[in-house]
Every structure is written in C-alpha cells, then in structure tokens.
Chain A
C-alpha cells in the first residue's frame, strides 16, 4: 500500500510538472489532485507506521510547483494569435489568382 502510493504519487507529480509547462496546462489539474491525494494518504499512513517522509515531501513539492505554474499560466498567459504574416500573404496572392480563374468561368446569376 505504502509503495503503491509512493509510486502513484511520484508518477502523478512528475506528469503534472510536465503537463503544466505545455500549452495543455489546464489538464495538469488532474495529476496534481492525484498527487495530493497520494501525499495525504501517505501522511495518514505515517501516523500508523514509521515511514520516511522524504518521498512525501518530494511529492508535495512537485505538486505545488505544478499547481503554481498552472495557476500562473491560467491568470497571466493571454491567448493571442501568433504570426499570421504568411497567411495574410497567402490570402492576397490567393485572391489575385482567384480573379484570374474567375475570368475563365462563365458566370451568370
């Protein structure tokens, strides 16, 4: 039980850290919750038996880092369009080409 919680806690915490630095950072919430629950479970177990608390501290540390990143990005990262210069050029050239193509067509409304 103890080992399972430590492994699961570590996997969740590492996954949370990885996800929180990607554009899909919002999904990091799920492994953060899982890591916290594992950490809490381990704290509960330490009260019953003697367990080294290093692993628990590490799980909590990673989860908190992931949580801080996720909250920071949710508040401060603005969703704005990237560089669309190429698309604008394509738009203009496509319109010019289209006019040439349309000249070749029989259009009667």
Chain B
C-alpha cells in the first residue's frame, strides 16, 4: 500500500510552485487500486483523497487526507486500513503537520512530523507494535531542506504546478520526507494523451515518475501518471512498477472540484 500511496503521492507537482489555485476545501477524489497479474487486473483497494478546513485558535489550515482500504473480499486475506494526513497552508500548501497511521495485514506503524519552519527542523515520532503487543516509540529531530514536504503535501503540490508551461522532456525534482529520510522524486513531462476514465474521456498530461536512490519504484519511465490537462489537474490514472509486480490506480469519482 505504501507503493500505491507513493504513486498517488507522485500525482502532482511541476515546473513552478506558487499559490494554490487548484485545490479547494471539500474536494473528494476516489480511486480504485488494482494489481496486475500477468495481464489480469484485480481490484484490491479503494484509495480516497479528501480536503477539508481545519481551524485552530490562530489560523485556518487545509487538511489533506488520504485513506486506503482493501475491498471486503480481500479483508480476510490481507486487510489494509491506512490513513495519511497532512495539515497545510491553504494558500501555499506548505505542510505544518503530517501523520501516517497504517495497518496492513496486521503490521501497524505510526509516523508524525511536526514542522518547525523557522528552524528548518522536523520533530518526528515513530510508533510500532512489538511482538508482545506493547508499543515501541522513537522520537527524532530532523534537519530538512526549506522546500521539503511530506508525501501527501507533495501529491497535492504537484497538482498545483503549471504543467502547461512545460515542454516535452522537461524534468523537475522535489524533496520528499518519508520514513525519516529525504528522498528526491523526479517528474518528467512526456506529453499529452487522451485517457478514457469513469469521469469521461479527458486529455491528460503524461508524467513519468522516478525516485532517486530508492528501489521502491522500478524501471525507467515505467511509473506514469496522467493528470487532466485542465485547471483541476485531476489524476485519472497511474501505472506503477514495484518490486512485487505492476499496479494501477484509476479514478472512480471526483467531487467538489474548484473549476
């Protein structure tokens, strides 16, 4: 599921990163995650991406939430219930708090990043279950780049980029903090393609994704996402190659879009 989320994450950032003009409060995107076995696609889970408004005593933030849940026929086989959240500035999509709570086939993990933007540090908390059922906890202070974001915020930031100004072959890299490590994600614009999806036949931007210094995504130009070539830049399809095979993320519904 991590790989699915990474792909989902890689959904959207490109060649300029300014004010948020794409992501509104109350947007909901629903995807179906499928695993490709020798050409036969099997639907395994539903991935949802939602945005909402969060108010604190001093500010208003945007909550970016991604959930993944396996379909009922897979629950006895390998049950997944993942929750990824990022609390970001609604204007710049800069993250201030990131939480990841995953439960995959009995494996539990919790991660939290509290961003101290002024000091360019992150307070990280990692929790796991020990074999005896007790919780193991690790706290760390990490130094990050000023532009570093988490997986979820990167995903949404991608959608906010001006892809229309990019030329075919243009590439751009972004720093993503995942599992307490900064990873560089490279996006390469590969042109436009028309994709048929549940939300209609759409002209899309085709973007190849790769991770520098990580084996999570395999192959060269094998991990591709398609974003609608309009002001919403909705991710409609993603194909990815991971160490255990190939997968796909297909859009099921999109509501609350800005444009």
Contact = CB atoms under 8 A, between A and B. Distances in A.
A82 B79 contact: yes
A1 interface: no
Of residues B44, B61, B73, which shows the largest number of chain A Cβ atoms within 10 Å of its Cβ?
B73
B42 A103 contact: no
A24 B44 CA distance: 9
A84 B81 contact: yes
B37 interface: yes
A81 B81 contact: no
A102 interface: yes
B57 interface: yes
A77 B71 CA distance: 11
A105 B115 contact: yes
Contacts of B96: 102, 105, 107
B157 interface: no
Interface in B117-131: 117-118
B150 to A, nearest CB: 13
A79 B65 CA distance: 23
29 contacts: A24-B37, A26-B37, A26-B40, A26-B41, A27-B40, A30-B38, A77-B73, A79-B71, A80-B72, A81-B46, A81-B69, A81-B72, A82-B69, A82-B79, A83-B72, A83-B75, A84-B69, A87-B81, A91-B65, A94-B85, A98-B85, A99-B54, A102-B87, A103-B56, A103-B57, A103-B58, A105-B114, A107-B96, A109-B59
